[in-house]
Amino acid sequence: MALDEKEFKKKMEEVKGKLQKSVIVPEQLTRKDKMKFRCYPGIGCFTKCCSGIRINLTPYDIFRLKNRLGMSYHDFLMQHTVPRSIDGTPLPIVVLKMNDDKEKSCPFVTPGGCTIYSDRPVTCRYYPIGMAIMKKHDKKTGEDFFIKIKEDHCLGHNEDKEWTIDEWRADQESDLYDEVNSDWLEVVLKAKSLGMVEFSQKSLDLFFMVSSNLDMFRDFVFNSNFLNAYEIEPDVVAKIKGDELELLKFSLKWLRFTMFGEGDFKVSDEARQKARERQMAVSKASMKEREKREKELLSKTPEQILKEADTETEKD
């Protein structure tokens, strides 16, 4: 949409206004920087941060939550999530479904606190420290930095307890979540740097399956040609068969490989040969089609060709 000078200035004022009201402290923090913060049952604002928020669910969030609730992936997704896409990308994910009440409160919050506290999503663990990842052109992976989120209702910032960002993240187990999700985070980061480019529907479907439904991925690995398509060591196959967390990490590595060619997956000779054969079959078919069209054209008189062209123009 093109804006004229006046509209442009108006838009800029709007953006400035929003930034002034922003709750993000515009300061880049490193892991060693310090902050004062404490959150505990009994603080005046207890659970005030558990309503009206959007919680994007990462693959490891879903893994922990559905195990905590003793549900299958399918049932968890149906009951507790809604589909959305990651901001600035077309990548489909799920977010936690909030209650349909006035406050849009989290389904797991009670006056006594969070009922799934030890398995709460990583978004809840980051708070009040947001993590951003900056990718430099010449680097394969991103460099992370941190941003403080200071909201008026959050009284934790008035407390005296001091932490480095690293200590806070260790206390909240955020690093564990980021480590398990690391390949997935790289995919998201790369997609964000590309913006709203068009991914094929197949890539988006694969992203959604790997990001949200490990049962489906398991089925894909063990009940399709997957294991013949890659050179995977037998001990890795045994590990992902018997250990759900290993399967999750494997799925995220594979996602990164299949979407951006990053990582050490090796396509098997058999799959390579099949892909070559498929490619040859496609080009043979299109050559045949071209020959057929040329033959048809040659069998027509110039009058017939002109008449058909006129009919096509009329249709347009």
Cβ 186 to ligand SF4, closest distance in Å?
25
CA dihedral sign, ordered 85, 86, 92, 98: negative
CB atoms within 10 A of CB 151: 15
* Strands annotated E in the chain: 24-29, 34-36, 56-57, 81-85, 92-96, 109-110, 113-114, 129-134, 143-149, 162-164
Closer of 126 and 207 to ligand SF4 (Cβ): 126
Cβ 165 to ligand SF4, closest distance in Å?
16
Report DSSP state, residue 159: S
Cβ atoms of 77 and 182 within 8 Å: the answer is no
Contacts with ligand SF4 by CB under 6 A lie at 39, 43, 45-50, 106, 108-109, 114, 116, 120-121, 124, 127, 153-156
Distance of alpha carbon 151 from alpha carbon 125, whole angstroms = 16
Residue 253 — φ and ψ, nearest 5°? -65, -45
Cβ 77 to ligand SF4, closest distance in Å?
16
Cβ 273 to ligand SF4, closest distance in Å?
49
Closer of 106 and 187 to ligand SF4 (Cβ): 106
Can you name the residues that pair with 85 across neighbouring β-strands? 92
Can you name the residues that pair with 133 across neighbouring β-strands? 144
Closer of 116 and 132 to ligand SF4 (Cβ): 116
Closer of 126 and 217 to ligand SF4 (Cβ): 126
Closer of 40 and 222 to ligand SF4 (Cβ): 40
Cβ 48 to ligand SF4, closest distance in Å?
5
Cβ 64 to ligand SF4, closest distance in Å?
11
Cβ 150 to ligand SF4, closest distance in Å?
10
Contacts of 214 (CB under 8 A, 6+ apart): 59, 62, 63, 73, 244, 247, 248, 251
Closer of 59 and 121 to ligand SF4 (Cβ): 121
Strand order in the sheet with 92-96: 56-57, 92-96, 81-85
Closer of 162 and 219 to ligand SF4 (Cβ): 162
- Listing DSSP states for 271-301 in one string gives HHHHHHHHHHHHHHHHHHHHHHHHHHHHTS-
